């Protein structure tokens, strides 16, 4: 079980929300006289959790976009906190994520071996509970993405291997498959053998996917299966492989592995990229994109990066 942090929010708690903390740090670090102790405390706060940096980058970007430089002082804290409250719904994490059995930070990919020899790989910024014994083999994915490799059947009868999300469930009928939970639903991709998928509202109406198929679903609907993306499991080896993929999609994938804000303008997002990017080295990945495409990369401090088409 994961230890909670100071950004957890409980009913009646006086602890500032994550976005409020980010707003306060934005004001503090913009001052003319930032002490060494303040700098050390700020770095410690950033290191506590990957989402601290993301929240700080968003607040700082909004602040700088609406506040003239000569007016950037402590008098703007109320405006910042108003923005922070809006951002809180984006960055506030439920207890289920903080208290998950397994939780990965930004850029972390974790390989876990279960007691029957099955293996799961938890992608960056993911969280899952694992209920795994002689009576059940069930994983609940609260956030992010997981690759499951189910050990071959033995002479000992075992309960079904199931991965659940808030939207529904995927039950293995074979070996390897991926479950990805996003803000708009869940996706199951089958790499080997078969998987049955059902949404939460209609658990008895399921679809059986074959190897090479993928399906999106929500709690109330189940879409039609489609061909699975090429190299769907490459992320488990910290490699992101693309074939003629829009840059907007590539950048969206990279945000999973890089702290801070990473954006791309509309024109650049329509460019297409073919190649391999290292998920465990996002700065190197950005340099590869810069060399492969007619784009420029602008950095605003350590946390904000903008990709645009070259002039």
Question: What average pLDDT does the segment 11-33 reach?
Answer: 61
pLDDT on residue 260? 84
Which of 144-148, 155-159, 225-229, 289-293 is predicted least confidently? 155-159
In this predicted structure, what is the pLDDT of residue 7? 34
Domains for the chain: give ranges and CATH numbers.
Answer: 18-94 (no CATH), 100-227 (2.60.120.1440), 238-309 (3.55.50.30)
User: For the chain, how many helices (H) and strands (E)?
Assistant: 8, 18
Pick the range with the lowest mean pLDDT from 19-28, 107-116, 285-294: 19-28
Q: How confident is the model at residue 302 (pLDDT cuts 50, 70, 90)?
A: confident
- Write down the mean pLDDT value for the chain: 81
**pLDDT, tens only, 249-280:** 999 999 999 988 899 999 999 999 999 999 99
Q: pTM higher than 0.85 for the full model?
A: no
Is pLDDT larger for residue 284 or for residue 134?
Answer: 284
138-144: long-range pairs with CB below 8 Å, 24+: 138/162, 138/163, 138/164, 139/163, 139/164, 140/164, 140/165, 141/165, 141/179, 141/181, 141/186, 142/94, 142/96, 142/97, 142/100, 142/181, 143/97, 143/100, 143/181, 144/104, 144/180, 144/181, 144/256
């Amino acid at each position: 079980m994961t230890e909670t942090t100071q950004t957890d929010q409980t009913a009646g708690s006086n602890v500032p929300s994550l976005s409020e903390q980010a707003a306060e740090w934005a004001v503090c670090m913009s001052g003319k006289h930032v002490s060494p102790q303040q700098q050390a405390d700020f770095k410690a706060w950033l290191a506590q959790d990957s989402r601290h940096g993301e929240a700080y980058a968003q607040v700082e970007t909004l602040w700088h976009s609406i506040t003239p430089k000569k007016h950037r002082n402590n008098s703007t804290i109320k405006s910042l906190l108003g923005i922070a409250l809006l951002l809180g719904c984006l960055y506030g994490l439920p207890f289920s994520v903080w208290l998950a059995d397994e939780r990965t930070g930004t850029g972390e990919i974790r390989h876990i071996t279960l007691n029957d020899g099955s293996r799961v790989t938890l992608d960056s910024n993911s969280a899952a509970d694992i209920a795994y014994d002689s009576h059940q083999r069930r994983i609940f994915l609260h956030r992010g993405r997981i690759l499951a490799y189910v050990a071959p059947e033995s002479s000992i009868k075992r309960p079904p291997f199931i991965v659940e999300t808030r939207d529904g469930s995927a039950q293995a009928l074979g070996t390897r498959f991926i479950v990805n939970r996003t803000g708009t639903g869940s996706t199951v991709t089958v790499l080997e053998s078969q998987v049955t998928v059902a949404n939460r509202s209609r658990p008895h109406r399921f679809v059986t996917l074959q190897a090479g198929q993928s399906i999106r679903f929500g709690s109330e609907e189940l879409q039609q299966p489609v061909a699975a993306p090429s190299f769907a499991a490459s992320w488990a080896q910290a490699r992101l492989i693309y074939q003629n993929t829009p840059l907007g999609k590539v950048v969206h994938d990279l945000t999973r592995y890089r702290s801070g804000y990473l954006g791309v303008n509309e024109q650049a997002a329509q460019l297409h990229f073919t190649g391999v990017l290292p998920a465990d080295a996002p700065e190197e990945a950005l340099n590869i994109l810069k060399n492969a495409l007619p784009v420029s990369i602008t950095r605003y401090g350590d946390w904000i990066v903008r990709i645009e088409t070259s002039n």
